[in-house]
Amino acid sequence: MNRPRRHHFVPRFYLEGFCADDARALAVYDRVRNEYREQRPAQVAHRRDFYAYEDDQGNLVFDIERALGEVETAANNAIQRLENNAELRADDKIALATYVAFQFTRTPAYATWLGSFKEDWAQRARPEQIDALPEPPGPAAGREDAIGAMLRHAPRFAEVFLHLNWTIWDRESERVSFVTSDSPVCVVWANQPEPNAYAGAGILSPDVVTVLPLSQSLGLAMSRIGDRVDRRPLNRDEVRRVNLAVTNQAQHFVFGRDMALVRSLVNATGIDRRQWQVPLQVG
């Protein structure tokens, strides 16, 4: 039986959406190694059998891998419809809300973000509000803890995302493009004083926007409780602003369609000159 061997913690179809149209290769910045390189989507951001587990007989089971594959396939279909200027149907919205939730909770940065957020919020919130938060993995969380957190928390986030107002962002010109990262779901201020500032607030705060680039030509923004779905073009400066936020949050990788763009964003944010930190402002 064919079975998954390498799981892409950034889905391969998603990375392909940020490739140049005439060459299926990504411009990659590796923050850990502080190096730039060009790679094909199949060559980056994967872990061997990461979501496989053993049954009672010691056989590897790939149910989680297959379920994630179904989530990614449904999201890919919805993104392709948007690329073709089709309306976002109800099932497309469910597929994308679920996909964004897993993109948020499956990353290595998630457990760190959640733990820090809960610790900071505990200084101001009531006990019953603290207890309502998802429990983060411990500081020494391993693979099983990370998988458990993803499976517990993603459905809850999907429900939240589904009930926010959505705006689909289209780049105004093919001369500009969105980038993405290994921590692609960004929570940023609605009116950021700095293009690379973290929100330091929860997803349901009316002052923040949750952003996910969907491809080099599309982005998704979610904010405030509601059921509106709008669509609007972003000009060069607005796309740049989104890209700065995405690049600033990258824990390990930044992905884009061309190296000049990736280098420019890395230089502007300065992530090559400082260590990654939790995307949360305290105080």
The structure's pTM equals: 0.80
Confidence of residue 276 (pLDDT cuts 50, 70, 90): confident
Statement: residue 4 has pLDDT above 60: no
Tokens of 6: 């390498």
- The residue-averaged pLDDT of 227-256 equals 93
Nearby residues of 105 by Cβ (< 8 Å), 6 or more positions away: 149, 150, 153, 154, 157
| Percentage above 90 pLDDT, the chain | 44
User: Which residue would you say has higher pLDDT here, 51 or 175?
Assistant: 175
Name the DSSP class of 105: H
CA distance 231 to 234: 10
> Structural domain boundaries of the chain?
6-273
Q: What is the pLDDT of residue 148?
A: 75
Res. 130: pLDDT tops 70: no
Least confident of 1-5, 155-159, 224-228, 238-242: 1-5
In our burial notation (b when 16+ CB lie closer than 10 A, e otherwise), range 60-78 reads eebebbeebeebbebbbeb
The residue with greater pLDDT, 60 or 268, is 268
Higher per-residue pLDDT: 78 or 146: 78
Task: Please write the tens of the pLDDT for every residue from 61-75.
Answer: 667 778 888 888 999
How far apart, in whole angstroms, are the C-alpha atoms of residue 134 and residue 46?
26
| Spatial distance between the Cα atoms of 198 and 279, rounded to a whole number of angstroms | 6
Number of H helices, E strands in the chain: 8, 13
pLDDT digit string, tens, across residues 22-62: 567 899 999 999 999 998 877 775 555 556 666 677 777 66
Say whether pLDDT at 237 is over 60.
yes
- pLDDT band at 260, cuts 50/70/90? very high
CB 248, CB 194: distance < 8 Å = no
- When mean pLDDT is compared across 104-108, 177-181, 193-197, the lowest value belongs to 193-197
Round to whole Å and give the CA distance between 129 and 273.
37
